[in-house]
């Protein structure tokens, strides 16, 4: 078990380094920040002065090393636009994105688990068809558009939900539905498939033969076995929600991490963009790693392998 | 012995014939294919079909309602946008953007992912380790954010959008191709080809690729839908295809300011994206069922 843990953590660290290197070189290799910062009417001397001040005249790898070294200590430099430490900005915005992602995950599980289980229990029934329809629509609708449709229906027509902002938890309901619905179809398919396989396995037949009730079979025996891939996929989806919330945050005006990335990208505020990319990637790695550990703990077959 | 061998059909050819045949027998696939065919025809014949120039502005006819509303008329069946451009014409031309992005992104990502997956699966060992690491790294990158940043740096042209999506969306190709190749590399016909002295490239192209082609087709369809949705998102955020090009995602963004009174301005282009993605996904579902009929239930 310990060896398994160490291997996974080592690999995760390597991936972190690779991602940070990619993000840094990508953003620095192209375009010249000094020119865009100086504005259109700057002289060559002014541009050089900015380069000098920001240390942009040194090789990319040297700057990367310095940036990563500081980043490990929680120092991501200063935002060019907000004129304040990037770490402060992120600490301020992160809770909103996390709230949105957690609620979206809840929406996804609330939709996909019951529908997936029911679809597996009654294949080709009306409920199976309905679940399929929900999945097909969820995969075809662009999430920003679905979000706007939700605003039109629930905010503008019915007036029961706020159209934008993040003041209360109620403000997160529509965004969470929009973001969570989009990741529902693969999860529902996974649960349905896992349940069908579990329900047709020998130990379930034995349980049935022993006269154990259907409810107990479904929840105690079948669902438990179907849950392992669900943990993995939930982790991946949660990580994707953190990065993919950009679009939803932009629609609902939620000033979270995604919104920060979007406005900083438009303003070429590279220190912020680099930091957000790294933070989102690290979150993804940590969450997927945690899911692996949870699964290794749930299922001894994984850790012995 | 020899006569028996001759009587046996060539494994590759029969399987693929059966593959397409099975797909065509599936109503879901057929419906998707017809729908996509219509959209492709619409895009190809855009200059003939569009009643107006999609870029022509007319300040006298701004936000005219579509025909089904009481104040709509048939001069502009789907109405006009905030700059008085005919919405139907923009929708027709917009299909071109989505299809181009979808097709070229999949060509790009499909080549990258297949090469990586085949190399990892066939050679295994260290190559497999490195490629696995690349896949993990790629999965860690938030696609939308990276794509936004790259488009902001290099400018929002069709080519930049295709390249950035192509360089980001190869992961599923690599994962599936890797496991597919691992499955078949130890089969007898591959070993036979090896012992006959086939060179590695010849073996990969003539023996391996034709036998994983059907799986490639399945991922290609889903990834095409994925790319089209992503382009729409990027354009919606203002960092994809740039105005005045009629991209459906951009049209939704432009319609946002009329959300309160003219919500059809966002509903129509969004519905267009839905129909296109739905058609492609139906084709993908049909192909997937044809690939593994036993997985249907």
Sign for the pseudo-dihedral over CA of B189, B193, B194, B196: positive
Which CATH number belongs to the domain containing residue A168 in this structure? 1.10.3720.10
- pLDDT tens string A216-267: 777 777 777 778 888 889 999 999 999 889 999 999 999 999 999 999 998 8
Which chain B residues have a beta carbon less than 8 Å from that of A246?
A: 144-145, 148, 237
Whether B1 has a pLDDT exceeding 50, the answer reads no
Q: Please report the pLDDT score of residue B45 as a whole number.
A: 92
Q: What is the least distance, in Å, from the CA of A165 to any CA of chain B?
A: 16
- Looking at the structure, do residues A33 and A134 belong to the same domain, yes or no? no
pTM attached to this predicted model:
0.88
- pLDDT tens string B231-248: 999 999 999 888 888 999
Return the residue of B nearest to A270 by Cα: B149
- Looking at the structure, do residues A21 and A151 belong to the same domain, yes or no? no
Q: Which domain holds residue A191?
A: 89-304
Whether A297 has a pLDDT exceeding 90, the answer reads no
Chains A and B: how many Cβ contacts under 8 Å?
135
- Looking at the structure, do residues A285 and A144 belong to the same domain, yes or no? yes
Whether B166 has a pLDDT exceeding 60, the answer reads yes
Q: What is the least distance, in Å, from the CA of A146 to any CA of chain B?
A: 8
Domain count for chain A:
2
Which domains, and CATH codes, for chain B?
Answer: 78-295 (1.10.3720.10)
Which chain B residues have a beta carbon less than 8 Å from that of A145?
A: 232, 252, 266, 270, 273-274
Q: Please report the pLDDT score of residue B71 as a whole number.
A: 80
Q: How confident is the model at residue B4 (pLDDT cuts 50, 70, 90)?
A: very low
Return the residue of A nearest to B137 by Cα: A15
- Looking at the structure, do residues A122 and A63 belong to the same domain, yes or no? no
- Summary mean pLDDT of chain A: 86
- Looking at the structure, do residues A115 and A235 belong to the same domain, yes or no? yes
Please state, for a pLDDT cut of 70, what percent of chain B lies above it: 92
Q: Please report the pLDDT score of residue A268 as a whole number.
A: 85
Q: Give the B-side interface with A, CB within 8 Å.
A: 133, 136-137, 139-146, 148-150, 152-154, 225, 229, 232-233, 236-239, 249, 252, 256, 259-260, 263, 266-267, 270, 273-275, 277-278, 281, 297
Q: How confident is the model at residue B189 (pLDDT cuts 50, 70, 90)?
A: confident
- Looking at the structure, do residues A184 and A103 belong to the same domain, yes or no? yes
Which chain B residues have a beta carbon less than 8 Å from that of A142?
A: 229, 232-233, 236, 249, 252, 270, 273-274, 277
Q: Which residue among B142, B150, B278 places its CB closest to the CB of A140? A: B278
**A78 is a domain residue:** no
Q: Would you say B147 and B163 are in contact if contact means Cβ atoms under 8 Å apart?
A: no
Which chain A residues have a beta carbon less than 8 Å from that of B273?
A: 140-142, 145
Q: How confident is the model at residue A208 (pLDDT cuts 50, 70, 90)?
A: confident
> Among the three residues A45, A72, A99, which one is the final residue of a domain in this structure?
A72
- Looking at the structure, do residues A48 and A124 belong to the same domain, yes or no? no
> Among the three residues A26, A45, A72, which one is the final residue of a domain in this structure?
A72
- Looking at the structure, do residues A63 and A177 belong to the same domain, yes or no? no
In the predicted model, what is the mean pLDDT of residues B60-82?
81
- Tokens standing for A40? 């259109």
């Amino acid at each position: 078990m310990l060896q398994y843990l160490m291997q996974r953590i080592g690999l995760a660290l390597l991936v972190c380094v690779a991602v940070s290197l990619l993000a840094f070189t990508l953003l620095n290799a192209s375009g010249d920040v000094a020119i865009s910062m100086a504005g259109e009417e700057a002289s060559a001397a002014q541009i050089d002065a900015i380069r000098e001040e920001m240390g942009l005249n040194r090789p990319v790898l040297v700057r990367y090393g310095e940036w990563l070294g500081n980043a490990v200590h929680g120092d991501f430099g200063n935002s060019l636009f907000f004129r304040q430490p990037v770490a402060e900005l992120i600490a301020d915005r992160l809770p909103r994105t996390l709230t949105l992602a957690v609620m979206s995950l809840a929406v996804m599980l609330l939709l996909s688990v019951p529908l997936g289980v029911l679809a597996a229990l009654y294949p080709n029934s009306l409920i199976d068809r309905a679940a399929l329809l929900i999945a097909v629509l969820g995969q075809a609708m662009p999430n920003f558009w679905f979000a706007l449709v939700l605003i039109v229906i629930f905010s503008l027509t019915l007036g029961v939900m706020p159209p934008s902002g993040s003041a209360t938890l109620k403000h997160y309901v529509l965004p969470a539905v929009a973001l969570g619905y989009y990741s529902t179809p693969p999860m529902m398919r996974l649960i349905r498939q896992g349940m069908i396989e579990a329900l047709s396995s020998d130990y379930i037949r034995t349980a049935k033969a022993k006269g154990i009730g259907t409810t107990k079979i479904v929840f105690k025996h079948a669902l438990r076995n179907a849950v392992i891939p669900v943990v993995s996929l939930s982790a991946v989806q949660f990580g994707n929600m953190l990065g993919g919330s950009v679009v939803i945050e932009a629609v609902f005006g939620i000033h979270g991490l995604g919104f920060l990335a979007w406005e900083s990208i438009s303003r070429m505020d590279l220190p912020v963009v680099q930091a957000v990319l790294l933070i989102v990637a690290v979150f993804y790695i940590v969450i997927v790693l945690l899911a692996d550990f949870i699964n290794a703990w749930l299922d001894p077959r994984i850790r012995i392998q | 012995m020899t006569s028996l061998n001759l009587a046996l059909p060539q494994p590759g050819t029969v399987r693929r014939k059966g593959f397409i045949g099975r797909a065509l027998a599936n109503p879901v696939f057929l419906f998707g294919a017809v729908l996509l065919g219509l959209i492709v025809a619409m895009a190809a014949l855009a200059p003939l079909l569009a009643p107006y120039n999609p870029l022509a502005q007319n300040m006298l006819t701004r936000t005219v309602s579509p025909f089904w509303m009481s104040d709509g008329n048939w001069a502009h069946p789907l109405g006009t946008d905030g700059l008085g451009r005919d919405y139907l014409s923009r929708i027709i031309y917009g299909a071109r953007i989505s299809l181009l992005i979808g097709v070229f992104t999949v060509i790009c990502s499909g080549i990258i992912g297949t090469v990586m997956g085949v190399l990892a699966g066939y050679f295994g060992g260290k190559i497999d380790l490195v490629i696995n690491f690349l896949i993990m790294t790629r999965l860690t990158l938030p696609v939308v954010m990276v794509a936004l940043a790259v488009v902001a740096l290099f400018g929002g042209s069709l080519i930049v959008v295709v390249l950035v999506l192509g360089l980001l969306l190869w992961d599923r190709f690599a994962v599936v191709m890797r496991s597919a190749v691992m499955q078949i590399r130890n089969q007898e016909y591959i070993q036979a080809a090896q012992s006959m002295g086939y060179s590695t490239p010849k073996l990969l192209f003539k023996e391996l690729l034709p036998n994983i082609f059907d799986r490639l087709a399945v991922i290609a369809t889903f990834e095409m839908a994925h790319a089209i949705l992503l382009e729409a998102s990027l354009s919606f955020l203002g960092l994809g295809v740039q105005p005045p090009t009629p991209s459906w995602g951009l049209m939704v963004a432009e319609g946002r300011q009329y959300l309160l009174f003219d919500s059809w301005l966002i509903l129509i282009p969004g519905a267009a994206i839905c129909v296109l993605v739905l058609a492609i996904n139906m084709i993908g579902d049909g192909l997937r069922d044809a690939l593994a009929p036993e997985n249907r239930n």
